[in-house]
Amino acid sequence: MKKIISFFLLFTAIIALFTTICIYFTEKTDLMGLEHMPIESSFSENDGNMVLSWKPFPYPCLYRVETYYKTTGLVEGSPEYHSLKSEYTTGSEYAVPTSAIPSYYQITAYGIFGKIATSKEYIPNPNFHDPIKPVPIFRYTKDKPASVIPYLVWHSIPDGVVYELEILSGQPDEENGTKISRQNHVFSTQQVFTNGIQFDMRPYYKKYPRLYWRVRAMNLRKEPLGVFSDTQEIVVDDSVAIPDKPLLNTFDRMPNFKMPIYPVYLWIPMYGAESYEVELLTHPPAEENGTTPTEDAAWRMKVNSSFTCYDEYARPYAGTYYWRVRGLDANGKMVGQYSDTASFEMDQSIQRCRVAIFGDSITHGGGAVSFSPASLEYSYLTYLDFPAVNLGKSGDTSRTTLERFESDVLPIRPMNLIIMTGSNSLRAAYIPAEAIIADLQTIGQKCEKNGIRPIFMTLPPLNPDNILLAFQTPTDPGWHAKMTAINEFIRKQRYFIDLEPYFYAKDKKILDPKWANDGLHQDVYGKMLIGEIINQHQRLFKD
């Protein structure tokens, strides 16, 4: 018996050795021509969930899928493509992370003895087009009809301040055009400020045998950004239940989404709601989609905004939070039921982190007027080569940033603190440059006292005309002289990063509108540019 077992073990070892040798020579000599085989890929999507598939190699492999974005090309030393995420799979398909900016993918196959092949080109996400056009997420067909008040949702367009929605009774004059159709036009609105709306089809669905919809993005001045989306038929069935809760807007989150320490909550506007109430919990609610507020909620706030709510408190330490939102009518009574419950987790190991960023709304995030800090494509932290903690807070002046130092910075005590604040103070005529400089100087002193290296960033220029258009508030006529004085002070500091020169229009006097719709907050590519500039100054950081 022992001889049989020994023989079997020897035979197994020989087979294993032979197989290993075959695999080794197959890989190292590329006997099967794997290195020259193209990686053929395709995409499929269902309700916003996209899958990248490829033809597998005729050989057991581990596949790495990397997600990239294309950099601005304006900062010396930056690569053409910047990595956002990297994951592995043994299969031949990959659930693509949601993304709010044009993304690209590379697939690399690995055998037992190393890399076999990589896709020759960066594979573009098909939801981003040239010319720009929105891509519908929800499609209503005979097999999956809409209710009479359905949610119409599409992938967001970078820097799309507002959307124009058109309802038609037939095909438009021009598919993927830039104008409202003359024929078959039923209804249109330019009052959609996020990538979805719950739309009342009841005045139309019985009047017209067939109904269609399409949407296009526009900038602050309501100039088209690209063309209308592909025209989509809406099959309406009045027996389908009408959605009676706000729809959480998690469709186009950036990969590796992490809520800012001052959280912001997003949803798609609900039909019939005049205002909303957000509820924050430290545990799941007792009833999902119920109608009763939670007695021990950690926090709740009513907002008149139709799709966003800014948390007034920093929440860096409590682990997992849960939140939901309900709609309220003009009398403050609940409309329908609570939304689904979402959760986010705050990192509890951020104390004494290497880098934190500190400042006002430019640091907190958001841009293009309609996008909040929860849209991380509008955060320059997204484009950094290294992890960092976002301690920004929207609405800060240089003084309120200073006043938050003890409560928001000291508990974390980062090794390096990137500081940019004062843009809101520039706008105010009653705040002189000397006061802003004094606030920055005090922040720097507090850093030094607590073993934190202060790294100041110069303030970008403003565009007063666009600020007035976006916020209906004037800008101090002396803002540029104030900014010049402040930035001269910053350039005299031991550690600083100079942003100002990158953001001027051709006349070198104001912020170029291509970087910021609202004249103040950099949009996607402006935040990308800030991130790329910081990446080239990592030599300033202490380890």
One fold for both 251-345 and 355-540?
Answer: no
Does the pLDDT at position 378 exceed 60?
yes
| pLDDT the model gives residue 37 | 64
Please write the tens of the pLDDT for every residue from 225-279: 999 999 999 999 999 999 999 999 999 999 989 999 999 999 999 999 999 999 9
Topology (CATH level 3) of domain 151-234? Immunoglobulin-like (2.60.40)
CATH code of domain 251-345: 2.60.40.10
Does the pLDDT at position 155 exceed 70?
yes
Does the pLDDT at position 337 exceed 70?
yes
Task: Indicate the range of 24-33, 165-174, 334-343, 395-404 predicted with least confidence.
Answer: 24-33
Please write the tens of the pLDDT for every residue from 466-494: 999 999 999 999 999 999 999 999 999 99
pLDDT band at 9 (very low <50, low <70, confident <90, very high): low
| pLDDT the model gives residue 4 | 57
Say whether 530 sits in a helix, a strand or coil. helix
Q: Which CATH architecture has domain 34-124?
A: Sandwich (2.60)
Contact 374, 344 (CB under 8 A): no
Q: What is the DSSP string of 141-195?
A: -SSS-B-SSPEEEB---TT--EEEEEEESS--SSTT-SS--SSSEEEEEEEE-SS
Topology (CATH level 3) of domain 355-540? Rossmann fold (3.40.50)
Q: How far is CA 141 from CA 6, 144, 145, 195, in A?
A: 65, 5, 5, 20
pLDDT band at 18 (very low <50, low <70, confident <90, very high): low
What is the distance between the alpha carbons of residues 431 and 401, in angstroms, rounded to a whole number? 15
pTM over 0.85: yes
Does the pLDDT at position 152 exceed 90?
yes
Q: What is the mean pLDDT of residues 40-46?
A: 91
Contact 265, 308 (CB under 8 A): yes
Each domain of the chain, given as residue ranges in start order, spans 1-31, 34-124, 151-234, 251-345, 355-540
